[in-house]
Structure 1
Amino acid sequence: MMSKFTRTALYAAASTFVLGAAAQAQVFEQVGGGERRTVDVITVTAQQREESAQDVPLSIGAYDTDALANAGVKDIKDLISIAPGLMVTSTQSETITTARIRGIGTVGDNFGLESSVGVYIDGVFRSRNGVGFGDLGEIERIEVLRGPQGTLFGKNTSAGVLNVVTAAPEFEAGGSLEASLGDYGYSRFSGSITGPIFEDVLAVRLFGATGDRDGFQQLILDDGNGPAEVTNSETQEYFTFRAQALWTPSNSVEGRFIADYSKRDELCCSAVQWDYAATPAVFVGSVGGQVMQPADPEARVAYANREYVQEVEDQGVSAEFDIEMPIGTLTSVTSWRQWENSRTQDIDYSTADIAYRADGNYTDLSRFSQEVRLTGIWGDLDWLVGGFLSHEELELGDAIRFGDDWEGYLGRLLTAGSVPPLGTPAGVTATLQSIVGLAPVAALIGVPGAQGFLPIPAPGSAIPEGTGVAGDVYDQTAESWALFTHNTYRLTDNLSLTAGLRYTHETKNVYATFNTNSPAACGALETAFGPDPVAGLVAAATAAGLPAASISGLATAAGNICLPYARTALDQTGYDRERTDEQVSGTVRLTYDFADDFMGYVGYSRGFKAGGFNLDRSFNGPIDPALGYTDVDSGFAPEIIDAYEVGFKSQLFGNVLQLNANAFYQEVEDFQLNTFTGISFVVDSIASIESYGVEIDFAYATPIDGLDISGGYAYVNAEYGDEASTAPNLRGNQISLSPENFLTAQVIYERPIWGDIWGLASLDARYVSEYNTGSDLDPEKVQDAFTILNARVGLSQADGEWSLEAWGRNLTDEAYAQVAFDQFAQSGGFGAFMGAPRTWGVTLRKEW
């Protein structure tokens, strides 16, 4: 909970700010300051209609071209520097990006889970946050819609929406060239051109950009075949292109066509040791591997024996038509998108060859969607009806394999303590011998002299390099359609009622095939104890009357020898499942205009995120002794959010100050939690989560000509309910990646210096309080509170023809974890994917 002191300080600061603004405005008029500067009003489409952000009865952060440019926003992750309450993080690759609003979001490492925060770019939905990650190009504005948006933006917007609008074609000819250079070998070159093809009928806009950057993390790469190589990771190399056409054949028809293509080829993402105990470091060292112990995240040094490669292709086309009809405006949005990713990964994040992803790891995602809306005004009723359908095809390939050091490493772990000090590298074979040498177990399986029944692989051949998953393939198809309506009725001159309703129907089919190159050690256990060797061994040992401690030790050993990647019990059956979810979501809001420049609102909304399937190996079906697992169900339930909000929006002192605030309360049912256990990803449906808090946004045009200040504060208390029984340590605690306090501020100062030359200085700051970065809330994964400062200074010609700017991000070089995690099979070892360090550069821009 927020302390009394914190509340008092915030109230005092807000009161001082408002009174100070009022006093300054009054003084300005008294001294004859002339026409007072005011805050620009941003037009948004948060309700699928163009209207002032100040007239929309919901919590919105709206950021225009200048605010985004001065904050250096190029992608959705950059947006966190000026958007309070927003968290965006990346983990194993930048394609695995997760956005959270009001503490609610979906861990992006598993493509079976869709995002709780929807990302829309020019009206087209990107079904995973990582699919929407990349250079956004020329941005007109970004709207951050907080809370469920399940009526107009549909399913999978249960936590909020990032609505990105790029610059459209213009009928006035123009263009721009931009070049940026910075440290870490950073470069970005972009250009655009726009203008008419046929005057007042057809205009086009072309944009292209290419970017490169050396990695800002040092990677010690040692494949065991010579001296270690010191290279960089977190590199950047991409190209993006966007072509648009604006067609206005008549006063009643307008069409916008967009085609875009992006390609990225990067070495990403390595992880540093976040907190690393001495014991796992000794075990890694016993097979010739290296990690940083004691851990020093600030050094930004990572270790691997295989490179991290990330290749992404993203392309799509869309067409949006607005047709004025006697009854209203008909809008049609049609889109097709294709996103492809392939990557390799050293999943143990050490120079030991323990486990890795090589070939066979890819994601292909294609999606077609069609939306139709009809809007109009009938007396005091502003109405909207519409329909939506989409077809998505997802193919995901996964292949995790054991490295050359895994057998020796595991052998030492299994026999540690019996052969001082670390156990023996032949421990896998020794452990198998001890299992089959148990007389009660041998008697139970009915084979006298079980040694002959269960051939024991020789040391060095129990788990050969390259065994594991030869290639798992998941094919998922999702069909979704919806009908919706959203209407505002003016009850009186000051009181309006907004009501929206949406029915969504979605069917998902998943067909998965599994191909395992099982190591001999796991094969031996499967032969002896069945498709579930751990359960089979436990049953045999229990029936034989072994002590509970012995049974637990046997089960742990068998589980480590037969990790999910080594087991063949899915190879003959695979998955073939279907699920259908349907839900009615909606909103109801009352808005009251207390004055022309002050409105209050109260509202309720329901958001819905469809259920799905965990696209990872799951062993939870009935067992056929000959076939293995049958009828496996890796499905999980839909996520539903009910949200209540009360707030106000104001334009004070003649719109010198815009001040908006709200309080919210949200209940989440069946929260889809994706957790990495150190071995695999597990999806749990958490019965309930509560999220409540306050959000404040302001923009102030100071009496000093050219000086503007804006910012915001969010207090978010998002806690797991007491029903989180599958993970007792979650109960009643703040959920992961959800700080209680966010504070952002942006100061922009532009003034003429001499002649028509203007100067620019801007500063933006973001503070977040302490939070846990791990889904399991392990105390070792806590990130302390920190502040990020970004700045920009420059010169420009008054008409904007050219500008030269120097900029810096994370000026104090804060070292913070985006996400901390359990390192693979290294109990007591924690890695972290770090945020970017201090960077700086210069940008030259030419416009005409």
Structure 2
Amino acid sequence: MKMKFVRAALLAAASPIVLAGGAFAQTAGEPGAQRQLEVITVTAQQREQSLQDVPVAVSAFNQAQLENSGIQDIKDLIALAPGLMVTSTQSETITTARVRGVGTVGDNFGLESSVGVYIDGVFRARNGVGFGDLGELERIEVLRGPQGTLFGKNTSAGVLNIMTQQPEFEFGGQAELQVGNYDLRRLSGSITGPIVEDQLAFRLFAVTNQRDGFTTMNLRDGGTTTVTDSENQDYYSIRGQLLWTPSATVTGRIIADFSDRSEFCCSAVQWDYDPTIAGIVGMLGGQVLSPADPSARQAFANTPYQQDVTDWGLSAEFDVDFDGATLTSITAFRHWENERTQDVDYSSLDIANRLDGNFTDLDRFSQEFRLQGVRGNLDWLVGGFYSREELELGDSIRFGADWEPFLGILLTAPSGTPSPAGVSQTISSLTGGAVNIPVGSAITAGSGVNQDIYNQTATSWAIFTHNTYQLTDRFAITGGLRYTREEKDVTASFSTNSPAACAALEGAFGLNPVSGWVGATTGVLPDATVTGGAVAIGNICLPYARSGLDNTGYDQSRTDEEVSGTLRAQFDITDDVMIYGGYSRGFKAGGFNLDRQFNGPVTPGVGYTNVDTSFAPETISAWEAGFKSTLFGNVLQLNGNFFYQDIEDFQLNTFNGTAFVVESVDEARSYGAEFDFLWLTPVDGLDISGGYAYVNTEYQTITTTDPLIAALEGQSFSLSPENFFNLAVNYERDLGGNLITRMGLDTRYVSGYNTGSDNDPEKFQESFTVLNARIGVGSNDERWFLELWGRNLTDETYAQVAIDAFAQGRRGTAGADGGEWTQPRNTASYAAFLGAPRTYGITLRTRF
């Protein structure tokens, strides 16, 4: 089936050429018979250039394309861009973009992005920080492959370069009202015009959006269950701009924006639940959907999923033209903060929760200078960059009232007589009867983390150059280098209300109770018994219950220095066909795992010292060869490329069912091909565009003591389909009487892929197709337009990410089979964060 689809996709990509050849052979030479493609200007090389002249794999979407496809945030962009994946998990602020299979699970703020998000020239520190309503868009560029020379660190996989509409010196504005199912109500508007004629102009944009949630939430509070919804939307955003042109040689653009979100998000549904676990949940008065039925979109919780996000920023960009050169300065400050609550176990059983003390505050200042000019055959650019980021993160996971009886049943189930008193029984057995804790007092509600606080600062600076030399009229070479130095410091304090069960084990066997007990029993008990006891202690003393960091905390620092660069050649075969090839290198900064980690030496009576939570930078070396063409009299644009990427120290963030584990994969690779086209058909007003991407990934070499990570060697990356296919058909027709109609359809197909960072086969998502459509009518002068639209019209149910249900069973000896996942599933249960269901509505738009 896979090969059949590949052949079909390649045939579909090639068919426009064949069809166009026949059609345009008939119409060539007929005056006015065909429309012409417009020149698409991009800034992929930090200069304004034609898309077809840039030797970089980049897709660009203009205002009309983005508006026709209803693109409002970076997640919507997957409808148009083949090879791009954007997913969210616990919160919409935990959003991750992937290009060519490369990306980083975003649940841990210690890890930075592989795909950089730039909005109006300003880098957003994490993909989730850049998630939100983008408002009025001028253009979005999707740059694929390492972009470290010009865009810097954290662009090792690619860049999403987003440009919003600028102020204009002609007075005008627009307003848009959107209503739809799930009680969607979105209202936006803007106004622009001159303040001082030809010198100072403004633009003001505002949007507010409310929508009910996609998931039916059964929220349990004591003995009462309330039915509500989650994954709702409730936000507003304001952006003001000034465009200042005091002289013919100076242009300035100043932007201020503010956004606020207060939403119930994000729940997970049961994806594949073990009936034994579901039975225990029910036995203790909780509820999950068993057997699991993701398409029912039913979720269960006893703690609300509340997210409150505030995001604001200021930026100033100035261009000063000198004789033969232009100096660009971009100064920016951004503040982002998030507070959230969460039901960690995604069931109505009170197992674990985040109720208070969970927040992220992120401040970032940046300054960039670029000087660019042309001297003879040389187009040159030099620049410097500085940024300082301050991150404060608070975390507080606490155990609920049902965790002790739930864990007790799990611990005693192998004996054949499962009992809610199992925690107390197990501790008595492990200590030889020396410790006896009353049932109900072993792990009380509210025990766990009082408050963990992480403070991280990152100071980064870079110098770079990027130059193109035109050797002949048709042959040019581009070369660039960037040196980056970054210093990171992190301090962390930990406060634990250690439950009596774990405190007793720490007292008996030391602050590392698992190794202490194993050491005491090795040679005394059979290996199977020792292993079973170690697992029991690990479950009783989860990271949130251990006190070994309370007196010591973290105090770590690291410095990374890296040289990235590019070398490319391009040759114009004709005025309409260009080929290019070359090498590029990018890197993503190293950092620290901002989670509890117990891997340092232990000082008795003090705690863990010299804990090392650091991980190395991720580097990508990419080779690429491609072509760009404008064919058949400038009515068909066809571009393509082939790529191969070597990745060193791939940063992998994996959830093991109770905590996040950050490891570096020594060697990995990604290779494939990407094609996109835009065809202005012989039918007046009918445009067809689309793309196909083939991406093959593999973890090649892994050196680690963690069997969960070691099992990935030889496997494909998670969230990386092999095949992507996008197709968009748009038709516009004049109806007479100053009326026009527009119709459009876009579809996206992806082949099957694993959604879990550990590649557990239960987390596999089968191939699926999403279909969107719209039809509208309005005036030729754009004074008004009314549109009926629908997204995911076939109501496909698919997982963005599937996860291990928190502490609710797992496979036996995870990863022990060397990656084949043949070990017993045991009681492993899974939840999933789903993609959006079918949505539909109407949009009324007016411009003046």
Report the TM-score range of the alignment, normalised by the length of the smaller protein: over 0.9
Question: In structure 2, which of residues 467, 470, 476 is the aligned counterpart of residue 490 of structure 1?
Answer: 470
- Aligned twin of 2:382: 385
Contact 2:9 2:725 in 1 (8 A): no
- Aligned twin of 2:671: 692
CA RMSD of aligned residues (A): 1.2
Matched, 1:40 2:38: yes
Tell me by how many angstroms 1:457 deviates.
2.1
Question: In structure 2, which of residues 161, 164, 167 is the aligned counterpart of residue 166 of structure 1?
Answer: 164
Contact 2:258 2:313 in 1 (8 A): yes
Alignment of 1:74-153 (within 5 A): 74-153=72-151
Question: In structure 2, which of residues 256, 260, 273 is the aligned counterpart of residue 259 of structure 1?
Answer: 256
**Partners of 1:367 and 1:12 in 2: CA distance:** 47
Residues 419 and 734 of structure 1: CA distance in aligned 2, closer, same or farther (over 3 Å): closer
- Aligned twin of 1:424: 419
Matched, 1:807 2:789: yes
Aligned residue for 1:595, secondary structure, equals coil
Matched, 1:194 2:192: yes
**Partners of 1:23 and 1:502 in 2: CA distance:** 48
Alignment of 1:581-620 (within 5 A): 581-620=560-599
- Aligned twin of 2:813: none
Write the letter of the residue equivalent to 1:593.
D
- Aligned twin of 2:604: 625
Write the letter of the residue equivalent to 1:18.
I
**Partners of 2:460 and 2:16 in 1: CA distance:** 48
Residues 7 and 745 of structure 1: CA distance in aligned 2, closer, same or farther (over 3 Å): closer
Residues 487-544 of structure 1: per-residue CA shift (max 9 Å, x gap): 000011111000010000000000000000000111111111111011111111115x
Tell me by how many angstroms 1:718 deviates.
1.1
Contact 2:665 2:701 in 1 (8 A): no
Alignment of 1:228-307 (within 5 A): 228-307=225-304
Write the letter of the residue equivalent to 1:296.
D
- Aligned twin of 1:678: 657
Aligned residue for 2:657, secondary structure, equals coil
**Partners of 1:564 and 1:728 in 2: CA distance:** 22
**Partners of 2:12 and 2:845 in 1: CA distance:** 38
Write the letter of the residue equivalent to 1:843.
T
Contact 1:287 1:405 in 2 (8 A): yes
Write the letter of the residue equivalent to 1:289.
G
TM-score, length basis structure 1: 0.96
Contact 1:675 1:683 in 2 (8 A): yes
Aligned residue for 2:573, secondary structure, equals strand
- Aligned twin of 2:818: none
Aligned residue for 1:509, secondary structure, equals strand
**Partners of 1:402 and 1:650 in 2: CA distance:** 60
Worse-superposed segment, 15-24 or 748-757? 15-24
Residues 780 and 498 of structure 1: CA distance in aligned 2, closer, same or farther (over 3 Å): same
Matched, 1:844 2:844: yes
Long gaps (5+) in structure 1 = 438-449
Contact 2:482 2:564 in 1 (8 A): yes
Residues 237 and 410 of structure 1: CA distance in aligned 2, closer, same or farther (over 3 Å): same
**Partners of 2:509 and 2:297 in 1: CA distance:** 46
Contact 1:688 1:724 in 2 (8 A): no
- Aligned twin of 1:525: 505
Residues 596-649 of structure 1: per-residue CA shift (max 9 Å, x gap): 111000010000111000000000001101111001010000000000000000
- Aligned twin of 1:820: 802
Aligned residue for 1:411, secondary structure, equals helix
TM-score, length basis structure 2: 0.96
Tell me by how many angstroms 1:595 deviates.
0.8
Contact 2:470 2:477 in 1 (8 A): yes
Tell me by how many angstroms 1:271 deviates.
0.4
Question: In structure 2, which of residues 769, 780, 792 is the aligned counterpart of residue 798 of structure 1?
Answer: 780
Tell me by how many angstroms 1:419 deviates.
5.2
Aligned residue for 2:668, secondary structure, equals strand
Tell me by how many angstroms 1:732 deviates.
1.5
Write the letter of the residue equivalent to 2:539.
N
Matched, 1:563 2:561: no
Matched, 1:752 2:721: no
**Partners of 1:525 and 1:272 in 2: CA distance:** 35
- Aligned twin of 1:446: none
Aligned residue for 2:22, secondary structure, equals helix
Aligned residue for 2:808, secondary structure, equals coil
**Partners of 2:404 and 2:322 in 1: CA distance:** 71
**Partners of 1:417 and 1:321 in 2: CA distance:** 69
Contact 1:468 1:516 in 2 (8 A): yes
Tell me by how many angstroms 1:201 deviates.
0.2
Contact 1:724 1:731 in 2 (8 A): no
**Partners of 2:315 and 2:667 in 1: CA distance:** 38
Aligned residues: 827
Matched, 1:212 2:210: yes
Tell me by how many angstroms 1:127 deviates.
1.2
- Aligned twin of 2:682: 703
**Partners of 2:57 and 2:630 in 1: CA distance:** 15
- Aligned twin of 1:69: 67
Long gaps (5+) in structure 2 = 810-827
- Aligned twin of 1:833: 833
Aligned residue for 1:428, secondary structure, equals helix
Write the letter of the residue equivalent to 2:326.
T
- Aligned twin of 1:547: 526
Tell me by how many angstroms 1:224 deviates.
2.1
- Aligned twin of 2:437: 457
Residues 406 and 9 of structure 1: CA distance in aligned 2, closer, same or farther (over 3 Å): closer
Matched, 1:224 2:216: no
**Partners of 1:783 and 1:435 in 2: CA distance:** 41
Contact 2:16 2:679 in 1 (8 A): no
Residues 759 and 724 of structure 1: CA distance in aligned 2, closer, same or farther (over 3 Å): farther
Contact 2:73 2:134 in 1 (8 A): yes
**Partners of 1:67 and 1:180 in 2: CA distance:** 18
Tell me by how many angstroms 1:728 deviates.
3.6
Tell me by how many angstroms 1:734 deviates.
1.3
**Partners of 1:78 and 1:688 in 2: CA distance:** 32
Aligned residue for 2:221, secondary structure, equals coil
Aligned residue for 1:697, secondary structure, equals strand
**Partners of 1:11 and 1:309 in 2: CA distance:** 45
Contact 1:660 1:698 in 2 (8 A): yes
Tell me by how many angstroms 1:36 deviates.
1.7
Aligned residue for 1:666, secondary structure, equals strand
**Partners of 2:703 and 2:718 in 1: CA distance:** 14
- Aligned twin of 1:445: none
Contact 1:25 1:656 in 2 (8 A): no
**Partners of 1:717 and 1:419 in 2: CA distance:** 46
**Partners of 1:598 and 1:819 in 2: CA distance:** 41
**Partners of 2:44 and 2:597 in 1: CA distance:** 40
Question: In structure 2, which of residues 408, 428, 431 is the aligned counterpart of residue 433 of structure 1?
Answer: 428
Contact 2:215 2:299 in 1 (8 A): yes
**Partners of 2:297 and 2:27 in 1: CA distance:** 51
**Partners of 1:409 and 1:6 in 2: CA distance:** 46
- Aligned twin of 1:440: none
Residues 144-175 of structure 1: per-residue CA shift (max 9 Å, x gap): 00000000000000000000000000000000
Tell me by how many angstroms 1:417 deviates.
3.9
**Partners of 1:111 and 1:11 in 2: CA distance:** 39
Aligned residue for 2:415, secondary structure, equals coil
Contact 1:724 1:730 in 2 (8 A): no
**Partners of 1:654 and 1:821 in 2: CA distance:** 51
Alignment of 1:619-768 (within 5 A): 619-723=598-702, 726=706, 727-768=709-750
**Partners of 1:736 and 1:153 in 2: CA distance:** 26
